[in-house]
A and B are shown apart, each in its own frame.
Chain A
């Protein structure tokens, strides 16, 4: 059960993501942005941070890193049967959208401020590789911290995401960044690729963070790998 965690220049949460994988019982495999080979990992986490300084657009340069070419090849296409499981958190979600593994885009928060808070979410879809340890409709509290976390897409895409049950998590109580339809996370059609703006890897350890609600994202992937 080896889960690769990619480090781009400017990644910030790669160590926390690797730690979450280990706490969940998996083996975290460090992957470098220049790697052309994933070393046979069973799944990949694209962590939060500021890859390539957020230059051009968040995630836009990371998309073309050698390691992403291989991840896109193994995980895609977005509407296909699904391949390599990938969880993109925050900047990782931005990279997944720029890579067209997920639809839509993430833009500057509507209120123009950086947001950092413990965020209540509803897990809308509990049958993705990354959420199968949750119950559909379950509420969790996980930290969120972003400047460019507003999820946007055209109406047709939003309707399709809702209709196909691909909204994985939704903000409750407060919409922290202006995301359309309160969307906090989405998946590809197969439920193997998930992008999430909140940070489950910061809620895996009692005493550090608001809850340990984030841990089951990683348990879910390990269970998925076992089942595969």
Chain B
């Protein structure tokens, strides 16, 4: 069985309150070297057989249609899981 991994991140210009909360918690825990954090999403799609170019193309389509909202998010990676 093959697996496609899709990463979605909030657009840089859109406020990311979750990332802000994570950054605040990191600072409180002493991870002072991390000045900022942004939180995104990772999807794993399973397919029968290998991850071909066609499968990746369909995964990109799914990412644009359902898995991300282009108004607020970018699909930053669509790749076969290693």
Contacts and interface: CB of A to CB of B under 8 A. Distances in A.
Contacts, number: 36
Contacts of A44: none
A97 to B, nearest CB: 7
Interface of B: 13-15, 17-18, 20-21, 66-67, 69, 71-72
A112 B17 contact: yes
Contact of A98 (B13, B14, B67, B69): B69
B18 A153 contact: no
A105 B15 contact: no
9 contacts: A97-B71, A98-B69, A107-B15, A107-B17, A109-B17, A111-B17, A150-B15, A154-B13, A178-B15
Interface residues of A, number: 20
Interface string A9-52: 00000000000000000000000000000000000000000000
Contact of B17 (A57, A105, A110, A154): A110
Contacts of B15: 107, 110, 150, 152, 178
A171 B21 CA distance: 25
